Amino acid sequence: MPKDSLADLLGELETLVSGMDDWLADVSQMQPLRNEVASILQGTRELAAEQSSLTARRQAVTQQLRIMKGQGRDLVIKTRAAIRSYYGHRNEGLVRFNIRPVRRRSRAIPEGVGIAMPAPAEPPTASPRATGTLGAAPDMAPVSPAPDGDSRSES
């Protein structure tokens, strides 16, 4: 049976059952096999009906859920509006209801007034006693040329 559709399977099972009913008098040993095919046919029909019923039910539940979500959103808007009208739109207590209160803007600071910036500091210089310690200035003495026997010299 290479066919996969449910309608084709049900059609084949019905054909087998009706065909076996016609020949059952001649071949009585086929009775248990015919009963098994008939029970599979009946079970498949019941499951297909239940599946279509569940599909319809799922669609109905999805539609009801969509309606309830819309009503819930409307109720949230009405409730927040009622809370805001009761407490006032500037009350900080609105925060506990996830409602942002209206707050005043902070005043702009004039350009002349602001954060005081310190004058730039002079770069540190090395003291004569700190020549061998960390943070001392690097040695700037010229490097002497390499001796003649060095392999790195260019010839």
Domains held by the chain: number = 1
For 135, phi then psi, to 5°, come to 85, 5
Q: Residue 22 sits in which domain range?
A: 6-97
CA nearest to 45, candidates 95, 88, 7: 7
> Using 50, 70 and 90 to split pLDDT, how confident is the model at 50?
very high
Token match 């003649």: residue?
Answer: 148
Does residue 59 lie within any of the structural domains? yes
Does residue 83 lie within any of the structural domains? yes
Does residue 31 lie within any of the structural domains? yes
User: CB under 8 Å to 94, separation ≥6 — which residues?
Assistant: 83, 84, 87, 100, 101
Spatial separation of the C-alpha atoms in residues 138 and 131, rounded to whole Å = 9
pLDDT digits (tens, 9 = 90+) for 57-76: 999 999 999 999 999 999 99
pLDDT digits (tens, 9 = 90+) for 85-143: 988 988 888 888 888 998 888 777 666 665 666 777 777 776 656 555 555 556 666 66
> pTM to 2 decimals?
0.46
